[in-house]
Amino acid sequence: MNGDQLMDETQKREPLDVVVIGAGFAGLYMLHKLRALGMKAVVLEAAENVGGTWYWNRYPGARCDVESLEYSYSFDDALQQEWHWSERYATQPELLRYINHVADRFDLRRDIRFNTRVASAARDEQNNLWTLSSEGGETFTARYCISAVGCLSLPSLPAFKGRDSFAGRLYHTGLWPREGVDFTGLRVGVIGTGSSGVQVIPHIAQQAKHLHVFQRTPHYSVPAKNRPLDPGETARYKARYPEHREAARQSAIGIAGFPVPTQSALEVSAEERTEAYGMGWERGSTGYTRIYTDILKNEVANATASDFVKMRIQQVVRDPAVATRLTPRYMIGTKRLCLDTQYFETYNRENVVLVDVSEAPIDQITEHGIRTTAREYELDAIVMATGFDAITGALKGIDIRGSGGQSLAQKWEAGPRAYLGLMTSGFPNLFLITGPGSPSVLSNVVTSIEQHVEWIADCLAHLRQHGIARMDADLAAEDRWVQTVNEAANATLLPKGNSWYLGANVEGKPRVFMPYAGGVGNYRVVCDQVVIDGYRGFLLS
């Protein structure tokens, strides 16, 4: 009998303790913690292997924008000491190797069901169980269900007319073919210039015969200044790993190495600011918007940081008309800041043309390429770097039914509501790792994942110890937390950007600021205090 058959047999006899959805960073660590608690758990994963985001986003140039030594698990000192990161910012292949290494090192695969996409999750109130069904028709029953589906896992493909009529090849950066793509000699069009576009464009430009970039919004990007990691530097960092990790946990965005601003941009001279922004630019990190305390809080302060990047774009891009089209018009940081390698420089190449689709939008995809309201562009391949239905898309894509058959998608129709981003009222025993209302995408997500996984594991141990079978979020506590999330966002400029943080990138999605902007360290204190207060705001029975 193989592992799968064994699991099926087990399922017939008795329910599992926990079913986890997703085998990315979150699902793997959750499984490891559940095993340590002696719980019987299964992870259901749509892909044929582990990795989550780093499994799917294989496009050329895909690379993390948090430094490798920080964007990694901290829960096991031997793991963090033994793993060797080769570059300051890890590439997708290196990250995928790391995640595979973790799966093997902790022997996690035997409890993961691959090629198993969850279609529904239904609450059986009478028996206090969750039943999950896969698209393939298998069912899994457990006391607890834990979502580890990730915040950026459902690709968003704009519904362009004629998408199926294109005679060439069409790709999405978040669903990249495993075998890779050779663009040599091809006429390629890339739609989208967010973090994925900014990374893929320089790579395709080097291969393709010709590249058209279809840009709706010019975005801010700062150079990554990526480089190989020096062994001495790595050793010194690793020698102080516990301190660095602790600093990350207490920090605003889960990164120890970011500057902690102490001054307003408006209390220093213009020369001093220019020098600071120049240093930030040379440092190469998204910490650029954290140089002063008020870049993300005050429009005048923000303009000083925005203007510096605009000036750099004008300096890098040789054709002044192209430089102007590439110059952002919104406040820096109100859409996620991109980190690039040779992005703006790519527009100095002979074979690259920037097509501004803000005024003449894409009208349709035709058999031969892309037609904007101004003209048609003939292409052999189209790459959609059009992003994701973020934070809620993957969860709403599963037919989740809570108490009384209530649908999660319906409950969240006007925007997601969750207490601490960990549970949503009316869906007992369903936990959300990096759910809406938690710092998630506004942080080094690995730091935030570890905090949630550890909080949930401690919570499950508490429930078991006290003979508590059912846990739900109290609706009043949830409402108050949603208000806190709104207040935290409104204390910043973040809601003023037309960003995916707000759902603005998906047609028909409600405009609600979804992550918690109050900071990773502050959020941890709130979560810990809730536990100290006897799981305040949760209903335990």
| Candidate residues 500, 513, 523, 538; the one interacting with ligand NAP per rule CB under 6 A | 500
Nearest CA-CA partner of 26 in 150, 158, 192, 196: 150
Window of 1-9, 26-34, 308-316, 380-388 that interacts with ligand NAP by CB under 6 A: 380-388
Nearer to ligand NAP, 45 or 65 (CB): 65
Q: Compute φ and ψ for 409, nearest 5 degrees.
A: -60, -40
Q: Which tokens go with 471?
A: 């846990």
Burial group, residue 258, by CB count within 10 angstroms (0-12, 13-18, 19+): buried
Nearer to ligand NAP, 509 or 524 (CB): 509
Kindly identify the residues of this chain, within the stretch 340-369, that bind ligand NAP according to CB under 6 A: 357, 362
Distance of CA 122 to the CA centre of its chain: 26
User: What Cα–Cα distance (Å) separates residue 202 from each residue in 57, 135, 180, 311, 358?
Assistant: 16, 38, 16, 21, 22
In angstroms, the CA 111 to CA 134 distance is 16
| Candidate residues 21, 39, 44, 64; the one interacting with ligand NAP per rule CB under 6 A | 64
In angstroms, the CA 345 to CA 421 distance is 40
Rounded least distance, CB 14 to ligand NAP, Å: 40
Kindly identify the residues of this chain, within the stretch 406-465, that bind ligand NAP according to CB under 6 A: 441
The answer for residues whose C-beta is within 8 angstroms of residue 403's C-beta and 6 or more apart is 123, 125, 426, 427, 428, 472
Residue nearest to ligand NAP (CB): 194
Q: Compute φ and ψ for 304, nearest 5 degrees.
A: -65, -40
Q: Which tokens go with 260?
A: 């902690």
Burial group, residue 475, by CB count within 10 angstroms (0-12, 13-18, 19+): middle
Nearer to ligand NAP, 29 or 388 (CB): 388
Nearer to ligand NAP, 441 or 494 (CB): 441
Q: Tell me the number of residues near ligand NAP by CB under 6 A.
A: 28
Nearer to ligand NAP, 193 or 424 (CB): 193
Rg (CA), the chain: 23
Nearer to ligand NAP, 37 or 495 (CB): 495
Nearer to ligand NAP, 7 or 317 (CB): 317
Query: Are 87 and 68 spatial neighbours (Cβ–Cβ below 8 Å)?
Result: yes
Nearest CA-CA partner of 99 in 173, 23, 14, 174: 23
User: What Cα–Cα distance (Å) separates residue 193 from each residue in 212, 268, 326, 358, 384?
Assistant: 12, 33, 10, 12, 10
- How does DSSP assign 145-156, residue by residue? EEE---SS-SB-
| Candidate residues 39, 132, 213, 385; the one interacting with ligand NAP per rule CB under 6 A | 385
Q: Site map for ligand NAP, 34-63, x if CB under 6 A?
A: -----------------------------x
Rounded least distance, CB 385 to ligand NAP, Å: 5
| Candidate residues 99, 132, 152, 395; the one interacting with ligand NAP per rule CB under 6 A | 152
Q: Site map for ligand NAP, 158-187, x if CB under 6 A?
A: x--------------x--------------
Nearer to ligand NAP, 119 or 157 (CB): 157
Nearer to ligand NAP, 324 or 406 (CB): 324
Does 24 help bind ligand NAP (rule: CB under 6 A)? Answer: no
Does 386 help bind ligand NAP (rule: CB under 6 A)? Answer: yes
Q: Site map for ligand NAP, 188-217, x if CB under 6 A?
A: ---xxxxxxx-x--------------x-xx
Regarding beta strands 41-44 and 112-113, do their DSSP bridges make them parallel or antiparallel, or are they unpaired?
A: parallel
Kindly identify the residues of this chain, within the stretch 312-341, that bind ligand NAP according to CB under 6 A: 336, 339
Collapse the DSSP code of 190 into the 3-class scheme (helix H, G, I; strand E, B; otherwise coil) and give the result. strand
Nearer to ligand NAP, 29 or 59 (CB): 59
Nearer to ligand NAP, 388 or 481 (CB): 388
Rounded least distance, CB 301 to ligand NAP, Å: 22
In angstroms, the CA 428 to CA 471 distance is 5
Kindly identify the residues of this chain, within the stretch 467-496, that bind ligand NAP according to CB under 6 A: none
Collapse the DSSP code of 178 into the 3-class scheme (helix H, G, I; strand E, B; otherwise coil) and give the result. coil
In angstroms, the CA 211 to CA 189 distance is 6
Rounded least distance, CB 539 to ligand NAP, Å: 34
In angstroms, the CA 536 to CA 420 distance is 11
Angle (deg, nearest 10), helices 92-105 and 25-36: 10
Rounded least distance, CB 8 to ligand NAP, Å: 36
Residues of the shown chain interacting with ligand NAP in the complex, contacts defined by CB under 6 A: 63-65, 152, 158, 173, 191-197, 199, 214, 216-217, 336, 339, 357, 362, 385-388, 441, 500, 505
